[in-house]
Amino acid sequence: MRHIISLLMENEAGALSRVAGLFSARGYNIESLTVAPTEDATLSRMTIVTRGSDDVIEQITKQLNKLIDIVKVQDLTDGSHIERELMLVKVRAAGEQREEMKRMADIFRGHILDVTDKSYTIELTGPGAKLDAFLEALEPSAILETVRTGASGIGRGDRIMKI
Amino acid sequence: MANMELTGAEIVVSCLRDEGVKHVFGYPGGAVLNIYDEIYKQEDFHHVLVRHEQAAVHAADAYSRSTGKVGVAIVTSGPGATNAVTGIATAYMDSIPLVVLSGQVPTAAIGMDAFQEVDMVGITRPCVKHNFLVKDVKDLAITIKKAFYIAATGRPGPVVVDIPKDITQHKCDYEYPQHVSMRSYNPTSKGHSGQIRKAVQMLLEAKRPMIYTGGGVVLGNAAAQVTELTRLLGYPVTNTLMGLGGYPSPDPLFLGMPGMHGTYEANMAMQHCDVLLAVGARFDDRVIGSPKHFAKESHRIIHIDVDPSSISKRVKVDVPIVGDVAQVLDEMIKLLKAEPAQQPDASEIKAWWTQIELWRAQDCLKFDRTAPVIKPQFVIEKLYEVTGGDAFITSDVGQHQMWAAQYYKFAKPRRWINSGGLGTMGFGLPAAMGVQFAHPEAMVACVTGEGSIQMNIQELSTCTQEKLPLKIILLNNGYLGMVRQWQEFFYEERYAESYMGSLPDFVKLAEAYGHVGMTIEKPEDVEQALRDAFGKHRDRLVFLNFLTDPRENVYPMIPAGKGLSEMILV
């Protein structure tokens, strides 16, 4: 099953490679991983999307907790949560395609960030599935380049991850 | 004057002094010259110059295993650091608290492919509990303090502190921190009392109980508690390879070691019990074989461990208890003494013991006592007799290791020192050195094979320099015996590269280093040779080269991946 795990970790050199190393050494999957500093400069927050049986996920959270630099681990999938991902897509937009592309971006609530006479660069935010849906809605040959951030997640309501 | 300005090198030495370190094992080199210069000037601890960095780490490791203190090793950058890695991985697999200080090229040279540069923090990351690169001399003392704290607490393990050379020259105020607290590291020590209550209830309800304890009992200093609990209940108990000495082996409640080369009775009891109490053990593949076979039995499992990630890793357990094993067992004992409301079902327990005695009657450790050649098992039996069961025994890895574990009946914890997890050949001799430094008056013997001993034989020179009166018990069968055994059983006797066509004259070799050497060829000479080694040559290192039966195998044996009841018996 797919799980989205949030980590708070010491903002130390090498902390990221401890997490990445743990996943590769123990053969766990990483679907996506994002990391950035938080409002507290000593802490970074990481979001990992992974897949595994309940036993594997239990081991992943235990092993993450065991890393000395990790301050907190939360499996967001355990409760109600929100996740968002940002994608930038460069698409072919020439001739009669131009209007069609503009309409597609609007339907998916995307923003066109950059325009040339042959292309648009569209920014799109949403759950991963929405970004997938957008790409599927396009003619494959129209997609020139894509870049995605991977999912970031946060608990809904009063569910707060802080130290 | 509370604070003084010291150089980084002075700080390293002061930290070790203030941490109460008495022995440091190491090898100098360019990146640690400043530290060695300070070691030269001090008298608070003894530095042991080894002949290879791997040996420094093994010696520090065994020093720790035999005392419970944190072992300390110092190595230089680059090859010094990489040579230490096998030692660090060995300690990591067996959860041994170590602090390894490695030199690093100067900060400005890091990443420049400088002479003797390796990314030590990167190389050791998967085999340390934690590691640090010190980038500012102001962080040096607190980092070393953290290293000792992390190494020794929770589930122990090795910690590497990588120190660039310029940091050892920079100066700052020094004060050794008395305490350290880390928001990201707070190991649990007290077990959940509801779970403990549940565990006690389950043990009292058991009809076919079994107690299975591992290295965690030795590391957690819980042997007294295991012994008390076991005797209070009158239940059978087994200690893993890492846990030997956790319960006195000569006692009738003790069923021997479990696992691939465990006793028939221990393995059968593990497989057929209805309630299993696992304490500081991790259901390792060499202990339970395939988890699939193990899970087929309908037993309920209680698991006490300080490391939550050890619980339900290979085998699902019913009552997990995270905590310091000694504290948890203390609480269980208290409950057992206070609540006589329920007693174990005496007739069921008696029937269980009857079954166990039938298994025990198999006498699975029997061997041919009439053979004209020396049987390796016989040497270990005699070693046990001659030392009165009171020696520290280190071992290397292979058949001799299993025989030592099976036939030397360890009565106390921290007496059996071996590389259980990583299985590191070359561990035994440097380990014996570490033990002898910690216990200068004790009998220390290294049980080894002719393959293993040659992996760190250069340490005979360290033993000469330090006048260490170790006894090397070489069970020399001319083969890499465990490899040969697997080839005999599973590869139709194709003995690929398991025979060493030439061996040195070990007697001359020992003598060349200034030690006593003996070759023993006949069974009737075994005991006298051992008596001489521990008697008239007590103050010398004695290298006993026992020429043993080359075709002897370790029994019982469970082939890899099979279940505990699928033993090959002699």
Local structure of residue B70 (DSSP, 8 states): P
* C-beta separation of B455 from B425 below 8 A: yes
Buried b (16+ CB within 10 A) or exposed e, B441-459: eebbbbbbbbbbbbbbbeb
For residue A9, list chain B residues with Cβ-Cβ distance below 8 A: 184
| CA B419 – CA B411 distance, rounded (Å) | 19
B85: part of which helix (H) or strand (E)? helix B79-93
For residue A46, list chain B residues with Cβ-Cβ distance below 8 A: none
pTM of the shown model: 0.96
Name every residue whose Cβ is closer than 8 Å to that of residue A158 and which is 6 or more positions away in sequence. Answer: none
Please report the residues numbered 110 through 139 in chain A whose beta carbons come closer than 8 angstroms to any beta carbon of chain B. Answer: none
| CA B469 – CA B137 distance, rounded (Å) | 41
Q: Does A64 touch chain B (CB under 8 A)?
A: no
Q: How many CB pairs under 8 A join A and B?
A: 36
Nearest in space to B75 (alpha carbons), one of B93, B94, B59: B59
| CA B479 – CA B496 distance, rounded (Å) | 11
Interface of B with A (CB under 8 A): 121-122, 125-126, 129-130, 133, 150, 182-185, 307-309, 312-313, 316
Mean pLDDT of chain B: 96
The strand pair at A32-37 and A43-51 is best described as antiparallel
Structure tokens at B156: 């122990």
Buried b (16+ CB within 10 A) or exposed e, A23-55: beeeebeeebbbbeeeeeeebbbbbbbbebeee
Query: Given B126, B308, B312, which is nearest A21 (Cβ)?
Result: B126
Structure tokens at B512: 């060349």
Q: Is the pLDDT of residue A96 over 90?
A: no
Q: How many CB atoms lie within 10 A of CB B254?
A: 25
Please identify every residue of B annotated as catalytic: 53, 115-116, 165, 482
Nearest in space to B70 (alpha carbons), one of B93, B102, B98, B101: B98
Query: Given A13, A18, A71, which is nearest B125 (Cβ)?
Result: A18
Nearest in space to A163 (alpha carbons), one of A18, A11, A9: A9
Name every residue whose Cβ is closer than 8 Å to that of residue B282 and which is 6 or more positions away in sequence. Answer: B214, B305, B310, B313, B314
Q: Does A13 touch chain B (CB under 8 A)?
A: yes
Buried b (16+ CB within 10 A) or exposed e, B481-516: bbbbbbbbeeeeeeeeebeeeeeeebbebbeebebb
Query: Given B125, B184, B308, which is nearest A62 (Cβ)?
Result: B308
- pLDDT tens-digit map of B366-406: 999 999 999 999 999 999 999 999 999 999 999 999 999 99
For residue A63, list chain B residues with Cβ-Cβ distance below 8 A: 309
Q: Scanning every residue of chain A, which has its alpha carbon at the shortest distance from the alpha carbon of B188?
A: A66
Average pLDDT score over residue span A46-63? 96
Q: Tell if the CB–CB gap between A14 and B129 is shorter than 8 Å.
A: no
* C-beta separation of B183 from B229 below 8 A: no
Report, in angstroms and rounded to the nearest whole number, the Rg of chain A calculated over CA atoms.
19
Q: Tell if the CB–CB gap between A58 and B185 is shorter than 8 Å.
A: no
Q: Does A24 touch chain B (CB under 8 A)?
A: no
Enter the ipTM. Answer: 0.93
Tell me the three state secondary structure of residue B90: helix
Structure tokens at B491: 């590869």
For residue B133, list chain A residues with Cβ-Cβ distance below 8 A: 13-14
For residue B104, list chain A residues with Cβ-Cβ distance below 8 A: none
Q: Is the pLDDT of residue A119 over 60?
A: yes
Q: Tell if the CB–CB gap between A21 and B130 is shorter than 8 Å.
A: no
Phi-psi region of B496 (alpha: psi -120 to 50; beta: other; left: phi over 0): beta
Q: Tell if the CB–CB gap between B309 and A65 is shorter than 8 Å.
A: yes
Give the per-residue pLDDT at B188. 83
| CA B10 – CA B8 distance, rounded (Å) | 5
Q: Scanning every residue of chain A, which has its alpha carbon at the shortest distance from the alpha carbon of B123?
A: A21
Give the per-residue pLDDT at B340. 66
Average pLDDT score over residue span A11-39? 95
* C-beta separation of B425 from B398 below 8 A: yes
Q: Tell if the CB–CB gap between B309 and A13 is shorter than 8 Å.
A: no
Amino acid at A51: R
Interface test with A, best of B128, B306, B309, B310 (most A CBs within 10 A): B309
| CA B147 – CA B161 distance, rounded (Å) | 7
Name every residue whose Cβ is closer than 8 Å to that of residue B115 and which is 6 or more positions away in sequence. Answer: B30, B78, B105
| CA A12 – CA B144 distance, rounded (Å) | 17
Q: Tell if the CB–CB gap between B309 and A62 is shorter than 8 Å.
A: yes
Query: Of how many residues is chain B composed?
Result: 570
Q: Tell if the CB–CB gap between A68 and B307 is shorter than 8 Å.
A: no
Q: How many CB atoms lie within 10 A of CB B153?
A: 17
Range list of H helices, A26-146: 54-66, 97-107, 128-137
CA B203 to mean position of chain CA atoms? 29
Q: Does A61 touch chain B (CB under 8 A)?
A: no
Q: Scanning every residue of chain A, which has its alpha carbon at the shortest distance from the alpha carbon of B187?
A: A66
Q: Tell if the CB–CB gap between B122 and A17 is shorter than 8 Å.
A: yes
Q: Scanning every residue of chain B, which has its alpha carbon at the shortest distance from the alpha carbon of A9?
A: B184
Ranges of chain B with pLDDT below 50? 1
SS3 of B277-308: EEECCCCCHHHHCCHHHHHHCCCEEEEEECCH
Query: Given B125, B185, B312, which is nearest A58 (Cβ)?
Result: B312
Query: Given B184, B308, B316, which is nearest A68 (Cβ)?
Result: B184
| CA B316 – CA B309 distance, rounded (Å) | 12
B402: part of which helix (H) or strand (E)? helix B399-407
